[in-house]
Structures are given as structure tokens and as C-alpha cells.
Amino acid sequence: MPQKEYLGIDIGASGIKGAVVNIKKGTLTSERLRLATPSPSTPNEVAKVFAQLVKELKYKGKVIGVGFPSVVKKGVARTAANIHKDWIGTNIEKLFSKATGCEVFVRNDADVAGIAEMNYGAGANRKDTVLIVTIGSGLGSALFRNGHLIPNTEFGHFYLKGHNKVVEQFTSDGARKRQDLSWKEWASRFDRYLETVALLLSPDLIILGGGGSKKFDKFESYLSFKAVPIIPAELLNNAGIIGAAGYAYQMEKAVLNLDV
């Protein structure tokens, strides 16, 4: 009988957040802890903070799920846009397993946030094409059709006409803060982003996750893009933690629709 509670950890460019999750309900059963991502965010330094977080949460289980901000294939980081370049080629699962003595399963952070929303949140029971966009230090994406994830999409990394930087560099929440943009200014950039992804993917629903999901009311009225319904993540920025825990559960073989 698999355990019902798993530790989910969401690794971001500025914070490492974790909590124990009841995977039947998709709810947190422990406090949510956040430790700052070390700078420089090299693999060994992040692994130390990761182990400290697991210790502080007094997790009794043996399996941990993790969302990580890069393309992740078979537990190995393949890109590093907002995290130290030394991560490229690092086996994240092995590194964190060694640091904690637990079995660790890792996927892209936006993919696990999407897994949470599709199972417990705004995308539950949706069979059509759902795009989750996470707004944080970068722009993450997760694409679902009939509840199935197409992993490692990187829809924050294309170029818009007239720009020499990838779109997340001027449309993420990180860019808004760095450039001190008003919500109206930022929303006009995000509008262009939405128009482009909608043109390319024809989603039926767009769910906004990440830290930006908590600020939806600040920019919703400035968005002129109306072609596709846009809603904030129901699990707000806990989606990453909950989805990571759900993914760990799936890897131990369970019953949820987490076929990824």
C-alpha cells in the first residue's frame, strides 16, 4: 500500500519551497517552508539547502518529489536559464538522494505545477488542450491534452519579432521587477506573449501559475487578449509543491491520472 503523504519541493531561482502533501486531496499537511536559493546556485550549494529543508520539515517518508526550473530528462538537468550553469548534465535525482537518503523524483517545475492543476485544481477533468504558464523569475509552461502532459515544453524561450532576447527575459515577473514596470506596461507585454502562444497552440484554456498567479487581480483588467479563457491556478503558487508530491506518488505507482 503506497503512503498517502509525500514531500513536494519546488526549486526556484529565488526560493526553495516545500511541504508535506496529502496526495488524495492535494492539500498541504505540514507547514510550508521556504529557504532562500543560495547564490551562486551551484548543485552542491542547492543540495545543502535542499537537505536542510527536508530536515526542518521533519519528513518521515522515504520518497520526495521535486519541481526543478529546467528541462529535466531521466532526472538530469538539460538547461539552466535561471539557475547556475553547472546544473547542465547534473543528475538531480542522484544528487538530492545522496544529500537526504530519500528516493527523489524530479521533473520540470512548470510540468509539476501543471500536474497539480490538472488533478486537483483549475484543469481537473479537462479533456481539451490546456496550457499552464507559470509566471516567476522565468516563464514556465506545461501543455496538456486529454489530461496527458507533453513534458519539457519551453514556451518562455522563443523570440518575438523585433526582440533579440527570449520572451521570458522581458515578460516574466522577474523582468517586471527588474525593469520596474507598471502592471499596465507589463500586461501589454504579456498580451503579446498570450497572442503568440495561442496562435501556435490553439489552447482551449490557459491557467496562470507561479508567483504571478497570486497577483492576477492586479493585471487581469489590463489584459486585452480575450480569445481564450484565462484563469489563475486554483492552487496558486502551492501548485509546484503539490504537483511534485503527486509526481512522487505516481512514481511509486498509484491511482491518480498522473500519466507523465
> Which residues bind to ligand BGC, rule: CB under 6 A?
69-71, 79, 81-82, 108-110, 134, 136, 138, 140, 154, 156, 168
Which one, 69 or 123, has the nearer CB to ligand BGC?
69
Q: How far is the CB of 178 from ligand BGC (least distance, A)?
A: 14
Look at strands 129-135 and 139-145 and give their pairing: antiparallel
CB nearer to ligand BGC: pick between 168 and 234: 168
Alpha carbons 76 and 185: distance in angstroms, whole number: 37
**Rounded CA separation 235/227 (Å):** 24
Shortest distance, CB of residue 108 to ligand BGC, whole angstroms? Answer: 5
Write down the least CB distance from residue 111 to ligand BGC, Å.
8
CB of 128 to ligand BGC, least distance (A): 23
Residue nearest to ligand BGC (CB): 138
CA-atom Rg of the chain in angstroms: 17
Using alpha carbons, list the distances in angstroms from residue 54 to 1, 39, 99: 23, 20, 10
Nearest approach, Cβ of 14 to ligand BGC (angstroms)?
10
β-strand pairing of 63-68 with 5-11: parallel
What is the secondary structure of 181-232 as a DSSP string? --HHHHHHHHHHHHHHHHHHH--SEEEEESGGGGGHHHHGGG----SS-EEE
Of residues 59 and 244, the one with the C-beta less far from ligand BGC: 244
C-beta closer to ligand BGC: residue 136 or 203: 136
The nearer residue to ligand BGC, 102 or 201, going by C-beta atoms, is: 201
